[in-house]
């Protein structure tokens, strides 16, 4: 049941809010048959009008799309949307009202005989919290809102050192050893290097840059060279990119204005990957002063080691000119593990390449 009370009016924002809100919901179907990966299956069969209704509630729209056999991905006016047969991930920035997308989403899922059995919501600490609309005015309000839909599953919420907010709900804790392991890596970067940020303005002197120009000139093209990319350049500045490869996806969003410069990178994958090399590539592109890094893994400890998810990350960052300020590990309600790191760039660092 939706929360019904008067919503406070948000203050005007002095800059664009880059920190995204991220909502991930997994569903179950009444059928006991294996889930096929063909197009137009379950959530992937949602009509364009249904997607428009869900996104309108969050106050964003679709600007570009890219699909493969396993999923549909959409670049939004504020961030990204990824749809699998039984899972949906919506990520929005600015002053969007992401959680308001839940009622129409659950309504359309029910029409497909789907019921939610797992939910995870996460975000960083907003740059301009006073400008956020309800229920994003405060994490406690977000938790109440989420619990009104998923509290019956059993939920847990935590704030990690005031910088990372996580809500998770799960109908039952599975045995991580009998499911396919996967993990999500999120980077949130602030105070970008000025030269790096300048590559995400459409007009550069007499030239007008395309999204592809930004992807190549910034070095983003080298981060995941095997992925299929869908990029989008905003006017007068700003950049978004979705990349997909089999069941894995990655997404990048950039706000380059100096008073609120911000970039994010996220990848969800199920294969072993050199995370230290990935961190190096991301930091090399944006050269942020502050980098928050979260690693959420749906694995057992043995699977974490097999996938290389327990590498000594702080040592690698020392070599790159960053100091690790925090390193925290949390077990979430639904059996997942969250590793959180906070890094700051040393003042004597000139170039990490």
Which of 20, 24, 26, 170 is labelled catalytic? 20
Q: Is 240 a catalytic residue?
A: yes
Catalytic residue among 73, 176, 253, 304: 253
Burial of 11 (0-12, 13-18, 19+ CB in 10 A): exposed
Collapsing DSSP to helix, strand or coil, 346 comes out as coil
253 as an active site residue: the answer is: yes
Q: How far apart are CA 329 and CA 269, in angstroms?
A: 20
Catalytic hit among 24, 80, 93, 334: 93
Question: 276, 277, 283, 265: which is closest to 346 by C-alpha?
Answer: 283
Q: Torsions phi, psi of 58, nearest 5? A: -90, -10
| Nearest to 319, CA basis, from 284, 285, 272 | 284
Catalytic-labelled residue, pool 155, 196, 240, 264: 240
Q: Pick the catalytic residue: 73, 79, 101, 294?
A: 79
Nearest alpha carbon to residue 311 among 257, 272, 350: 272
Whether 158 is a known active-site residue: answer: no
Interatomic CA distance for residues 287 and 279, integer angstroms: 11
> With contact defined as beta carbons under 8 Å apart, do 247 and 71 qualify?
yes
Q: Going along 201-247, which residue ranges are E strands? A: 203-204, 207-208, 228-233, 239-245
3-state secondary structure of 262: strand
Partnered with residue 220 across adjacent β-strands are: none
17 catalytic per annotation: yes
- Identify the residue whose tokens are 């105070």: 191
Known catalytic residue at 324: no
Residue 20 annotated as catalytic: yes
- Could you give the residue numbers annotated as active site? 17, 20, 79, 93, 240, 253
């Amino acid at each position: 049941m939706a929360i019904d009370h008067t919503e406070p009016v948000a203050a005007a924002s002095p800059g664009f809010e880059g920190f995204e809100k991220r909502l991930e919901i997994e569903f179950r179907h009444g059928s006991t048959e294996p889930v096929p990966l063909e197009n137009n299956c379950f959530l992937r069969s949602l009509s364009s009008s249904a997607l428009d209704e869900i996104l309108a509630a969050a106050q964003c729209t679709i600007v570009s799309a890219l699909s493969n056999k396993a999923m549909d991905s959409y670049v939004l006016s504020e961030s990204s949307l990824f749809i699998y047969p039984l899972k949906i991930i919506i990520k929005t920035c600015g002053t969007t009202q992401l959680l308001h997308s839940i009622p129409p989403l659950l309504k359309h899922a029910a029409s497909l005989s789907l019921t939610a059995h797992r939910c995870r919501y996460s975000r960083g600490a907003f740059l301009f919290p006073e400008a956020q609309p309800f229920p994003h005015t405060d994490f406690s309000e977000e938790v109440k809102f989420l619990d009104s839909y998923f509290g019956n599953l059993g939920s847990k919420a935590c704030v990690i050192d005031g910088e990372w907010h996580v809500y998770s709900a799960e109908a039952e804790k599975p045995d991580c050893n009998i499911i396919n392991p996967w993990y999500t890596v999120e980077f949130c970067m602030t105070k970008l290097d000025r030269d790096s940020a300048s590559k995400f303005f459409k007009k550069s002197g007499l030239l007008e840059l395309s999204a592809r120009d930004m992807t190549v000139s910034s070095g983003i093209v080298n981060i995941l060279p095997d992925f299929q990319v869908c990029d989008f350049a905003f006017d007068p500045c700003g950049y978004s990119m979705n990349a997909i490869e089999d069941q894995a996806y990655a997404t990048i969003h950039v706000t380059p204005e100096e008073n609120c410069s911000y970039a994010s990178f996220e990848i969800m994958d199920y294969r072993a990957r050199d995370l230290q090399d990935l961190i190096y590539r991301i930091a090399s592109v944006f050269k942020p002063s502050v980098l928050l890094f979260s690693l959420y893994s749906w694995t057992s400890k043995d699977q974490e080691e097999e996938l290389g998810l327990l590498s000594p990350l702080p040592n690698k960052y020392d070599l790159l000119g960053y100091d690790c300020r925090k390193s925290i590990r949390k077990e979430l309600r639904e059996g997942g593990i969250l590793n959180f790191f906070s890094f700051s760039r040393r003042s004597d660092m000139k170039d990490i390449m």
